[in-house]
Amino acid sequence: MEWLRERFSRGSSAQTIYGDQGARPDAANLHAASVLVPVVARMEAPTVLLTQRTAHLKNHSGQISFPGGRAEESDPSPESTALRETWEEVGLPAERIEVLGRLSDYHTRTGYRITPIVGIVQPPFELAPDANEVAEVFEVPLAFLLDERNHQRHSREFQGEQRHFFAIPYEDRYIWGATAGMLVNLARYLAKA
């Protein structure tokens, strides 16, 4: 994992995806949010921990996402938001996470400015997912997510407009939208090394 630490210590000027393709949110009215991009330091190869949201949620039900959520006034930084939300959603304590740095903010068409925080998680650890929010927690090999051959571009018509987005299908899972966009940004960031 030293290569990952070293890469984040140097910063980046990689071209990134600003947000949801075609999104036109007013930046002044975006809600601050943060997610943790948890890279698990598995002995065989690093993975990324992801969640599948429960089917009954009002927003983004059933979608695959990073642990994270909306900033609260008591959060002193985006890192604090990501760590708090990760604890609340999956029960992973901040002490198990080594924060490396931030990726570029990602703006969603639903009105959020998401700051992705990349961190290394050292096994072993136990998770306690919040059954109200998280249907499942799983891991995907980091190498698979970084391989641009796995980054697909899709589109669909929504509310009379053609919307374009990234998708990264993995086995029987469909990672798409903001989560896929932030993973593409991570891949571009690391490729600049």
pLDDT of 55:
66
Q: Kindly report, residue by residue over 134-168, the tens digit of the pLDDT.
A: 999 999 999 999 999 999 998 777 666 777 789 99
The domain defined by 2-191 folds into: Nucleoside Triphosphate Pyrophosphohydrolase (3.90.79)
Average pLDDT over residues 59-63: 59
Q: Kindly report, residue by residue over 82-117, the tens digit of the pLDDT.
A: 999 999 999 999 999 999 999 989 988 788 899 999
Contact 119, 81 (CB under 8 A): no
Highest-confidence segment of 24-28, 96-100, 174-178: 96-100
Residue pointed to by tokens 């090999």: 141
User: What is the CB neighbour count within 10 angstroms for residue 14?
Assistant: 16
d(CA 156, CA 47) in angstroms, rounded, equals 30
List the chain domain ranges: 2-191
Q: Which residues face 157 on adjacent strands?
A: 162
Q: What is the DSSP string of 13-77?
A: ------BSTT----GGGPEEEEEEEEEE--SSS-EEEEEEE-TT-SSSTT-EE-SEEE--TT--S
Q: Which residues face 167 on adjacent strands?
A: 152, 176
Cα–chain center distance at 17: 13
Q: Which of 18-22, 70-74, 83-87, 136-140 has the lowest mean pLDDT?
A: 18-22
Q: Is the pLDDT of residue 42 over 70?
A: yes
CA-wise closest residue to 17 among 134, 119, 143, 168: 168
Q: Is the pLDDT of residue 15 over 90?
A: no
d(CA 142, CA 58) in angstroms, rounded, equals 30
Q: What is the pTM of this model?
A: 0.90
